[in-house]
Amino acid sequence: MLAHRLTEAERTPTTPTAMWLAAAILLVSVATIWFTRSQVTEQVYVSGLGATGMPTTDVFNTALLGIGVGALLGAPSLHGIRSRLRWLSWSASGTLVATALAFVGASQVTCTYGCPIPFTPGSTLQDLVHIVFAATGFTGAAVVMVQLATSSLPRLTRLVAWGAAGATGLVAAAGASLSLLRFRTDLGATLEFVAMTVGVVWLAGVLVRQALIPAERARATVLPVSVLS
């Protein structure tokens, strides 16, 4: 039998069911976050929906926890995928685990009402801890994107990863800048939600791709044809 040769990235140590479940959790979670955003009249940044005293706190933080759980469940599917850049050459699954844990932490340690910027009047240690978790999660997600974009995965997958990384980075940076400048914070808040959505939907798409690999492998397998004489 002539079999399709698997790359290291295709030898995933998890099941397609787990990957489909992880993708579903991610998509439901991001949809829930957008729903909670529609329930408030004031313009808030992503973390603001889960701040102490907000009516959306419980639902938002459950959804944020869902993003962490979904990413953690899907992390094994990236086992063996490594960047060809020496300084990013560790397994992308490890980066995704760290990212997932950061989002879990951010869901458990929320910011105080209004999410004041750390070290500004009114901010607390709780705000600092939350922003560290949240920033680590966003940064980790960006690193995963770049790792996949510079890996040996198919060209289309790498191009999509580059696009997601660029879009997430630019949009998130613009939103953060507006927040720090306290200028058009309504636009800045929207941009942060968009950046978050791009990252989560991209990861869900990657997990779906990984879940489909066994089926692609089966179709690529060539069976010998018996010739009856």
From first to last of its 229 residues, what are the pLDDT tens digits of the chain? 334 344 544 455 578 899 999 999 999 999 999 999 999 988 888 999 999 999 999 999 999 999 999 999 999 999 989 999 999 999 999 999 999 999 999 999 999 998 888 888 889 999 999 999 999 999 999 999 999 999 999 999 999 999 999 998 888 887 777 766 666 767 778 888 999 999 999 999 999 999 988 665 555 554 444 444 4
Beta pairing partners, 2? 222
Contact 222, 203 (CB under 8 A): no
Contact 48, 192 (CB under 8 A): no
| Rg of the chain taking only CA atoms, in angstroms | 20
pLDDT of residue 187: 76
CATH 1.20.1070, domain 8-212, yes or no:
yes
pLDDT of residue 219: 56
Task: Output the pTM of the full model.
Answer: 0.85
